Amino acid sequence: MMTAQQNPWLVRFKENPQATVRLICFPYAGGAANIYHKWAGLLPAWIELCAVQPPGRGSRLLEEPFTDARSLVCAASEALTPYLDRPFALFGHSLGALVAFEFARHLRRQGKPGPICMFVSGRCAPQIPETGMPLHTLPEPQFLVELQRLNGTPDEVLAHPDLMKLMIPVLRGDFAVAETYQYLKEPPLDCRIKAFGGLDDMAINRRSLEAWKEQTANAFSLHMLPGDHFFLFTSEAYLLDLLSEQMAASC
């Protein structure tokens, strides 16, 4: 097994061996570990931020991205085991919330330690089926139009052909992970689940977030924050305060 220092799956922007809790963060579709880089300097000293770096982005740009949730979660579980040697929490935004959820269930099936709490952000509960048009198989011109409509890719990236050539395989892979996902019923998780949503998010409503309570046998809470689907940036300080409070209560 590779050591934590050699592990390409996780980025620690500010290593903190004295931390009592690790916060393992999964990116949204098309995102890389660096979307969480600011958090390392904003969280309390007792929390060590660990950001997941899936293949196809960042330092792993030349690697083939995953296209299905099961393979992604199995590979992540094997690679991230060295980081489960102390209490940890999981955070995922949008696609990242789905991956974090299945990661926690996979750990349970493998008899590995589970999270003390899980934060799911900007994503409907996994038992609610996808209803939109599949995007990952669209021809490139239509795919680019949909990316612009979703407002998740910066305009300067969309307007840069060389950058988009690098990004399209990652985005297609991530959309495939979400759009081919098949929920299988299992017992609820033992950890607390806290869900977050954006008050102005047109795609994810309060009811679809409240449905996450079915996935825990422990405490559940929902917090709606100012902002659209990417409220994790516009309400960053508020969100990090809530994460810290919940982790403190879960230890």
Q: The whole model's pTM is what? A: 0.92
Query: Which residues span the domain enclosing 190?
Result: 4-133+182-250
Query: Which residues are CB-contacts of 93 (< 8 A; sequence separation ≥ 6)?
Result: 26, 27, 28, 31, 121, 122, 123, 232
Give the active site residues: 94
Kind of pairing between the strands at 10-11 and 47-52: antiparallel
User: What's the chain's Rg over C-alpha atoms?
Assistant: 17
Tell me how far the alpha carbon of residue 251 is from its chain's centroid. 22
Residue 162 maps to a domain: no
Residue 35 maps to a domain: yes
Residue 138 maps to a domain: no
Encoded tokens for 62: 């030349």
Residue-level pLDDT at 164: 75
Interval 200-238: pLDDT, tens: 998 899 999 999 999 999 999 999 999 999 999 999 999
Residue-level pLDDT at 73: 97
Please tell me the total count of domains within the chain: 1
CATH number of the CATH domain containing 121 = 3.40.50.1820
Residue 96 maps to a domain: yes
Residue 151 maps to a domain: no
Residue 172 maps to a domain: no
Residue 28 maps to a domain: yes
Query: Which residues are CB-contacts of 83 (< 8 A; sequence separation ≥ 6)?
Result: 4, 7, 10, 22, 24, 50
Residue-level pLDDT at 155: 59
pLDDT digit of tens for each residue in the chain (251 aa)? Answer: 344 457 899 999 988 888 999 999 999 998 999 999 999 999 999 999 999 999 999 889 889 999 999 999 999 999 999 999 999 999 999 999 999 999 999 999 999 999 999 999 999 999 998 877 778 878 877 877 777 776 656 555 566 667 777 788 899 999 999 999 999 999 999 999 999 999 999 889 999 999 999 999 999 999 999 999 999 999 999 999 999 999 998 86
Residue 195 maps to a domain: yes
